[in-house]
């Protein structure tokens, strides 16, 4: 049993997406992570909440206020 656990955890690798920021045609901020785009949904004094721009995509991103 422990051997299966070790095999499983050794196959898991952290993936860090390439993140950049662009502006939309309407000059709204867009977060680009790998091949996915996120629009700014809400901003507080400490956190920005981004939602996926693809229909039926449930992915969300949170950044601090300075991105």
39 inside domain: yes
pLDDT at 30: 96
Residues in CB range of 33: below 8 A, 6 or more apart: 17, 18, 19, 61
Read off the pLDDT of residues 17-67 as tens digits, 9 standing for 90 and up: 889 999 999 999 999 998 899 999 999 999 999 999 999 999 999 999 998
5 inside domain: no
> In whole angstroms, what is the distance from residue 57 CA to residue 7 CA?
31
Q: Is 65 helix (H, G, I), strand (E, B) or coil?
A: coil
More confident residue, 41 or 3: 41
Domain ranges, residue 23: 19-64
55 inside domain: yes
1 inside domain: no
48 inside domain: yes
Q: How confident is the model at residue 1 (pLDDT cuts 50, 70, 90)?
A: very low
43 inside domain: yes
Q: How many domains does the chain have?
A: 1
> In whole angstroms, what is the distance from residue 67 CA to residue 57 CA?
22
Enter the pTM of the model: 0.73
9 inside domain: no
25 inside domain: yes
pLDDT at 5: 47
């Amino acid at each position: 049993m422990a051997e299966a656990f070790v095999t499983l955890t050794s196959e898991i690798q952290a993936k860090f997406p390439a993140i950049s920021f662009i502006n939309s045609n309407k000059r709204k901020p867009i977060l680009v992570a790998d091949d996915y785009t996120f629009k700014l949904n809400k901003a507080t004094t400490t956190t920005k909440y981004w939602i996926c721009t693809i229909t039926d995509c449930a992915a969300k991103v949170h950044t601090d206020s300075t991105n």
